[in-house]
Amino acid sequence: MAYSRKISADEAQKNAVLIDAKSLKMFPDVGKEFRLKVGKKSVSANVNNVGDAFYMHLFSSLVFRKGQKVSISKGAKGAFELKISK
């Protein structure tokens, strides 16, 4: 399973990735912390409800910038990986 999108100005300001409702089922329950591999590092993340939308927040110093493409994949063993490209 994978989820990809381009970071918007709003997402960059919130430093979070918008998760659309149909892709929400790929992630752990809302508010539940999970591990996400980013390059060689492993960071904590969670998906929270903000108003009428869902956002994935990372517990790290990583900063999302407008226009970046992010791809989040979930492996067969339930491990998550985040890739960022320009």
Q: Assess whether pLDDT exceeds 90 at residue 77.
A: no
8 A C-beta contact, residue 64 and residue 22 = no
Q: How many CA atoms lie within 13 A of 80 on its CB side?
A: 21
Domain 2-85 is classified in which CATH homologous superfamily? DNA-binding pseudobarrel domain (2.40.330.10)
Taking the C-alpha atoms of residue 27 and residue 56, their distance in angstroms, rounded to an integer, is 9
- Residue 43, H or E segment: strand 41-50
**Where does the pLDDT of residue 84 fall: very low under 50, low under 70, confident under 90, or very high at 90 and above?**
very high
Residue-range domain boundaries for the chain: 2-85
Taking the C-alpha atoms of residue 52 and residue 86, their distance in angstroms, rounded to an integer, is 28
Taking the C-alpha atoms of residue 11 and residue 54, their distance in angstroms, rounded to an integer, is 11
8 A C-beta contact, residue 66 and residue 1 = no
Encode pLDDT of 3-40 as tens digits. Answer: 999 999 999 999 999 999 899 999 999 999 999 999 99
